[in-house]
Amino acid sequence: MTIRIELASMRIRILWLLFVLIPGLSKTNGQTNVHKVFVKTEWQHYHDSLFLKYGAKKVFVKEFELQALIALSYYPELADVPITFRQRDIKTTMAVRPEYFSALRNQGRKYIIFIDNDIHNNDGILLRDIPFNAQIGIMGHELAHIMDYEHRSVLGIVMLALNYVTFRNHAQYEKSIDRFAIRRGLGWQELEFADFIENNSKASMKYKHFKKVNYLSPAEIEDEIAKTKLYSSFQDEKKWNAPYLKKR
């Protein structure tokens, strides 16, 4: 009986790998320009051209529009995908999900990216309190989720949801999403976000522990950057304005 249970458990794990980790992870071609630091005052000049290229079928929160457009430029496949950015009281800085009924379609899905706007019910940190460069990093992470969803069937999305509830392996999944964004060219932005949360934010110890367990740590992100060819030559060396970047 024990052997049968173990074999059944192994089969379920294999199915989980097929439906949860594999979809979308092989598609990593995107923006080839790697910037260590995006400076808001400089990139404001590119707002209109970015909007023309990546703003179709998107509804932005004005305060974070430029950051979203820069992040979207690393995912050109999402140019015609409907995405709504919406402020709401949630339990983390940002979150993403397909619109309810569109999740039941294999094609033509619509997505909502939520931005927390009430720190009183959140142990974490608001997006507006994060540096501009790091804001692009977390937005890049949420958009990587959409890239992953786009490569999933309805069954694949259901399996993903069941994984969160049943196996509690969302840490492995979230870390795979971090790696996807890094391979797209947003590694330095992911690094600044992770470093800010861990070392410079006012987030609670509980929230910092949650991030540490479920997402790549700054050291792990550095390792991913070091072994990714895309970062062998990058731009903006003279613009390293984050203290931890200046050390490198």
Q: Which tokens go with 31? A: 């923006």
Express each pLDDT in 18-29 by its tens digit.
444 545 554 555
Please enumerate in sequence order all residues whose Cβ is within 8 A of that of 158, keeping only pairs 6 or more positions apart, or say none: none
Higher pLDDT, 14 or 157: 157
Strand order in the sheet with 94-98: 58-59, 83-88, 111-116, 94-98
Q: Which tokens go with 61? A: 């929160």
Domain spans in the chain, listed from the N-terminal domain onward: 32-233
Q: Which tokens go with 143? A: 């958009």
Identify the residue whose tokens are 């457009």: 69
What is the arithmetic mean of pLDDT over 78-103? 92
Higher pLDDT, 103 or 75: 75
Q: How far apart are the first and last CA of the chain?
A: 56
Q: Residue 6 class from Cβ within 10 Å (0-12 exposed, 13-18 middle, 19+ buried)?
A: exposed
Question: What is the DSSP secondary structure assignment for residue 76, as one 8-state letter?
Answer: G
pTM: 0.82
